[in-house]
């Protein structure tokens, strides 16, 4: 168990499922919650380190944050599954200052599919009134001077520049404190992927279901091929950079 996992008043959150949104973070948090050695934050997403208002007057007292995880005397690893942590620029450094030994789990998905899924979720919730292409065109303007809470609903494109976000994360945390996984592998090889996560966290093995819990939304229509081709071009250089950083072959993301 990591130092933060020891019981007592000095206990800290041990690991974050820090990104990316719409990439399987809920499925992973849900199954890890079943491990007797893990306590996931109430509500899953604590949004502690990405709240600029909370940090406006300095480093906040973490007591309210820690209350989300239950009894600190229980020898369980505390997990905060907030996918905006890896995307919101100040969050990784705040997390390092809180717990320099924090472990990160990051799930990544084809960024075009991720953007379309994100837009579809906001449309279904009634918060998005623009069409997909129109929403992408409006993104920069919407993000200008926006708070994280305001911006996170409409950041369809910016969330998918994974190499930029990974570079920022690795600038403040050692690579061996991070586990980066493909969300398609989580779906296709769920037991093996969860076992890899459990091993990374230094936890005893657990029983894992054959498939992840369902957490998918419906689409009125699939993404048009022409729209996909245009957005692939936007992401191409970042995807190539990510391939070099991780040693992955991501050619299917560029089709």
Give domain 3-254's CATH architecture: 3-Layer(aba) Sandwich (3.40)
Fill in the DSSP letter of residue 32.
H
Which stretches in the chain have pLDDT values below 70? Answer: 1-9, 215-217
Torsion (CA) 167, 168, 170, 171 in degrees, nearest 10: 120
User: Looking at residue 162, what is its pLDDT?
Assistant: 98
CB 168 within 8 A of CB 106: no
Print burial letters for 26-65: b (CB count within 10 Å at least 16), e (below 16).
bbbbbbbeebebbbbbeebbbbbbbbeebeeeeebeeeeb
Q: What's the token pair of residue 55?
A: 């940090």
d(CA 245, CA 243): 6
Query: Which one, of 9, 7, 84, 86, lies nearest residue 39 by Cα?
Result: 7
According to DSSP, the residues that pair with 40 across neighbouring strands are 79
> CB-side exposure of 39: number of CA atoms within 13 Å?
22
Nearest-5° Cα angle at 215, 133 to 37: 130
Percentage of the chain exceeding pLDDT 90: 88
Helix axes 162-172, 91-98, angle to 10 degrees: 30
User: Looking at residue 2, what is its pLDDT?
Assistant: 40
Q: What's the token pair of residue 51?
A: 């709240």
d(CA 181, CA 200): 12
According to DSSP, the residues that pair with 106 across neighbouring strands are 19, 180
Collapsing DSSP to helix, strand or coil, 56 comes out as: coil
Total residue count of the chain as it appears in this document: 255
CB 169 within 8 A of CB 90: no
User: Looking at residue 4, what is its pLDDT?
Assistant: 41
User: Looking at residue 219, what is its pLDDT?
Assistant: 87
Query: Which one, of 196, 164, 204, 203, lies nearest residue 180 by Cα?
Result: 196
- Residue boundaries of the structural domains of the chain: 3-254
User: Looking at residue 139, what is its pLDDT?
Assistant: 95
């Amino acid at each position: 168990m990591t130092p933060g996992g020891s019981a007592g008043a000095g206990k800290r959150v041990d690991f974050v499922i820090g990104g990316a949104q719409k990439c399987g973070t809920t499925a992973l948090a849900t199954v890890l919650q079943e491990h007797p050695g893990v306590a996931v934050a109430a509500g899953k997403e604590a949004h502690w380190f990405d709240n600029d208002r909370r940090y406006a007057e300095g480093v906040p007292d973490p007591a309210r944050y820690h209350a989300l995880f239950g009894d600190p005397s229980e020898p369980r690893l505390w997990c905060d599954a907030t996918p905006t942590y890896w995307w919101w620029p100040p969050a990784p450094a705040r997390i390092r200052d809180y717990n320099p030994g924090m472990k990160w789990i990051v799930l990544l998905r084809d960024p075009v599919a991720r953007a379309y899924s994100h837009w579809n979720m906001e449309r279904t919730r009634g918060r998005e009134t623009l069409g997909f292409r129109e929403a992408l065109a409006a993104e920069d303007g919407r993000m200008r001077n926006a708070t994280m809470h305001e911006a996170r609903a409409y950041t369809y494109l910016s969330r998918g520049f994974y190499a930029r976000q990974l570079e920022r994360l690795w600038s403040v945390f050692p690579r061996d404190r991070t586990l980066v996984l493909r969300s398609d592998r989580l779906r296709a090889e769920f037991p093996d992927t969860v076992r890899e996560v459990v091993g990374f966290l230094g936890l005893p093995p657990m029983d894992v279901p054959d498939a992840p819990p369902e957490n998918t939304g419906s689409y009125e229509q699939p993404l048009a091929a022409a729209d996909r081709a245009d957005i692939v071009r936007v992401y191409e250089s970042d995807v190539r950079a990510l391939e070099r950083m991780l040693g992955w072959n991501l050619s299917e993301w560029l089709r």
